[in-house]
Chains A and B, each alone.
Chain A
Amino acid sequence: MNLDNQKWYDKPVTKIILITISLTWMIPYIGFVLSSFRDEQAVKRYAWWNSISSGTILDELTLQNYSEILFAENLSRSFFNSFAVTIPSTIIPITIAAFAAYAFAFIDFRGKDIAFLFVVAMMIVPLQMSLIPLLKLMKSGAILFGIPLIPELNINGTFVAVWFAHTGFGLPLATFLLRDFMMSLPRSVIESAKMDGASHLTTFFRLALPLSIAGIAAFATFQFLWVYNDFLVANVFLGINPRNMVITSHVAQLTVGNYGEAWHLRTSGAVISMIVPLIVFFSLQRFFIKGLIGGAVKG
């Protein structure tokens, strides 16, 4: 190593640039999280950075906002509703997609190519295209040429409508990704299991599923965060009935809601809504990134 070869990027300037960028990225959190712990009057009367510089910040700290938002404002209910929406909305599409992916990868049947083409074609349909008719479908069913295909359902406003909606929106991508993943499994393992007389269902549960667990985890993490953070679908299919409202809708209502400019509740509510995604994110970062890159083409 000679000195002439000292790279420009080893110089302090690189570090300074990076530190500046990361600080910039942190600014939105700092004031926001801090204000969620300050009492209502302080949030309204003093800018948070002025409170820090004048040293009064320590007297302003309180947990009052959190107890108010969780219990008086019932954010805790919305929080659990979010799980009742998110967990089935993650498992249902993955299950259906895994079965389909297995068939596309390992079973020969008539119409396989057309079926797969159909799945890929559905990937280009953006959510907005199907949103409103799907909403109608969940209410009054579907009629095609006068034949009632699906009878009147009236399930809007209940969790099951959101599960179905997310199943529809997540299914093409899940099938596509899991098929890719299963294609990369050694075909010989599956074949030999069949030689031994195992049924497809057994092979699926005993071999294909465990072997694709990495791919499934990637999509599951992605879909979990996507559904948990989703506002549009939840808002359209669940509405604002507080019985079933999810946490993003609740936070959105607080953010848009204008009464008294309640920043002490907006901040604490939003901070609570971020806890779960951040835990998932930090513990499953590897899978999330994989799912995200795969999700690049989600329509």
Chain B
Amino acid sequence: MRKSIFGLLLILSMVAIACGGGLEGEEVLMFGAPATDGPDGKAIQASFDAFEEETGIIVTYVGSENFESEVQAQMEAGNPPDIALWPQPGAVRDAAERGFLIPMADLDVDMDAYRTNFSSYLVGLGEVDGVAYGGAHAVNLKSIVWYQPAEFEKRGYAIPATWDEMIALADQILAEGMTPFCFGMYSNGATGWLATDWMEDIMLRTGEGTASYDQWVNHDIPFNDPIVKNAATLLSQIMHTDGYVVGGTDAIVSTFFGNAQDPMFERDANGNPGCFMHRQASFIPGFWPEEAKEGLGTETTSFPFPAIESGLPPAALGAGDMWGVFNDRDATKAVVEYMLSPDYFTAIATNVNDAGSTRISAHTGFDTSLYWSPVVQAQAAVLSDALAANSFRFDGSDNMPPAVGAGSFWVEMTELAVNGPSYIDTALDNIENSWP
């Protein structure tokens, strides 16, 4: 009796294996950093849902805060997703060098079309020895400061075009008893990246602009070079001037970057917002409270990060993600083809499911008038101009070795925030010494 039950179950299992395939549509798993239930995750999923309706291929997007280490674990364990979406091009190249990724040419990708449709700068970021592994996906703009025009107008504040004007404005706000900046850099396991973004934006606008920026990222100039020190000093001015940031200097490292801007949407007893300016990338509206999201472009919008040294052409700092593919199944190939077409971004740009994603397509042929918010349209224009003028630079810390870009640079910037301006030299020396 007992044996016949075993037998039955075993036969059932065999049957399940034999006839399971082919009944449903093929499944493809994509794994990335934006949270599954966050705006970007939802928007990406919406785009794949449209794809599923057309082709029957079921693509599932999964995001995780610990994406970087989890995808490493999966690669090591031999169960990687079909497609991974990396926020750092350096990590894509690393995975490619270790032999985990399939070259794009082996995925039936028309490489000539790819190189025409995407900017050569972005294409180059995904290449190892001239072979393309990482496909450009989406970009975002980091050189912006968020503010509320109505609050500025009410008080007669002008949008600062230069660093000095920004400082003057901050002093004025402070003198009127309010707080100029929102600033929060806590990020679980990655605390410090916000300050590195500030450093990069300042570096692009000081010294020799993009030229010295590139030297710095490639370690052609030491990390404690006077240009870098100057940048750190300027950043420290924001972080450590009494009363400049919400909650005081101590709060910078405690405030989660995602709700750092929330004080701007609150009003105190006198009707004043908690802060007036917040320098953060174009993706931050995804983190705003629901009411604030509705005011994107009207109540809350952005101005370009001010120029610092005169005579330098404007430059744009940005970041983005890049996908890498782990297998050459036909379903995966079809998904890759879809992601390289302008159609892929339609659902994301038009905000079909009200996800509120503000990602910008890396595809140069994408119709920017489709973006659901004028703010995103404007940012897309800035990005494409900068890419065309070669003044776009990718987040430098993502292109430094992980020990620095995701290690000492983050840690020392956090230390700098905590310890104050006297720590600048130590911080830069420590980073310099940690460069492998």
Interface residues of A (CB under 8 A from B): 44, 73, 135-136, 138-140, 154, 156-158, 236-237, 239-242, 253, 256-262, 265
User: Is A241 in contact with B29, judged by CB distance below 8 angstroms?
Assistant: yes
Min distance, Cβ A78 to any Cβ of chain B, angstroms: 12
Stretch at the interface among B60-68, B93-101, B213-221, B358-366: B60-68
CA distance A257 to B39 in the complex (A): 13
Q: Chain B: which residue is nearest A44 at the CB level? A: B289
User: Is B287 in contact with A259, judged by CB distance below 8 angstroms?
Assistant: yes
User: Is B287 in contact with A136, judged by CB distance below 8 angstroms?
Assistant: no
A135-B76, A156-B77, A261-B258 known, 4 other contacts, Cβ within 8 Å? A135-B73, A157-B74, A239-B73, A240-B62
User: Is A156 in contact with B79, judged by CB distance below 8 angstroms?
Assistant: yes
Q: Chain B: which residue is nearest A132 at the CB level? A: B76
Stretch at the interface among B30-38, B46-54, B242-250, B384-392: B30-38
User: Is B38 in contact with A237, judged by CB distance below 8 angstroms?
Assistant: no
Given contacts A259-B38, A259-B258, A261-B258, whether A253 and B64 have CB atoms under 8 Å apart is yes
User: Is A258 in contact with B256, judged by CB distance below 8 angstroms?
Assistant: yes
* 13 A-B interface contacts by CB (under 8 A): A156-B79, A236-B77, A237-B77, A240-B64, A242-B60, A253-B64, A257-B64, A258-B188, A259-B38, A259-B258, A259-B287, A260-B38, A260-B287
User: Is B37 in contact with A73, judged by CB distance below 8 angstroms?
Assistant: yes
Q: Chain A: which residue is nearest B79 at the CB level? A: A157
CA distance A228 to B81 in the complex (A): 25
Given contacts A139-B77, A237-B77, A258-B35, whether A253 and B65 have CB atoms under 8 Å apart is yes
Given contacts A135-B77, A156-B78, whether A241 and B35 have CB atoms under 8 Å apart is no
Instruction: Answer yes or no: B212 CB below 8 A from chain A CBs.
Output: no
CA distance A184 to B81 in the complex (A): 51
Min distance, Cβ A88 to any Cβ of chain B, angstroms: 13
Contact with A along B270-299 (1 / 0, CB 8 A): 000000000000000011010000000000
Chain A residue numbers with a CB within 8 Å of B119 are: none
Instruction: Answer yes or no: B70 CB below 8 A from chain A CBs.
Output: yes
User: Is B77 in contact with A239, judged by CB distance below 8 angstroms?
Assistant: yes
Min distance, Cβ B424 to any Cβ of chain A, angstroms: 29
Given contacts A73-B37, A239-B70, whether A256 and B65 have CB atoms under 8 Å apart is yes
Min distance, Cβ B331 to any Cβ of chain A, angstroms: 15
Chain A residue numbers with a CB within 8 Å of B254 are: none
CA distance A242 to B286 in the complex (A): 23
CA distance A237 to B76 in the complex (A): 11
Instruction: Answer yes or no: B259 CB below 8 A from chain A CBs.
Output: yes
User: Is B289 in contact with A239, judged by CB distance below 8 angstroms?
Assistant: no
Q: Chain A: which residue is nearest B186 at the CB level? A: A258
Chain A residue numbers with a CB within 8 Å of B38 are: 257, 259-260
Q: Which of B67-89 contact A (CB under 8 A)?
A: 70, 73-74, 76-79, 81
Chain A residue numbers with a CB within 8 Å of B287 are: 259-260
Instruction: Answer yes or no: B377 CB below 8 A from chain A CBs.
Output: no
Given contacts A136-B76, A253-B64, whether A260 and B258 have CB atoms under 8 Å apart is yes
User: Is B286 in contact with A239, judged by CB distance below 8 angstroms?
Assistant: no
Q: Chain B: which residue is nearest A139 at the CB level? A: B78
Min distance, Cβ B100 to any Cβ of chain A, angstroms: 13
Min distance, Cβ B60 to any Cβ of chain A, angstroms: 7
Q: Chain B: which residue is nearest A152 at the CB level? A: B78
Given contacts A257-B35, A259-B287, A260-B38, whether A242 and B78 have CB atoms under 8 Å apart is no
Chain A residue numbers with a CB within 8 Å of B64 are: 240, 253, 257
User: Is A239 in contact with B74, judged by CB distance below 8 angstroms?
Assistant: yes
User: Is B256 in contact with A261, judged by CB distance below 8 angstroms?
Assistant: yes
Chain B residue numbers with a CB within 8 Å of A239 are: 70, 73-74, 77, 79
Q: Chain B: which residue is nearest A41 at the CB level? A: B290
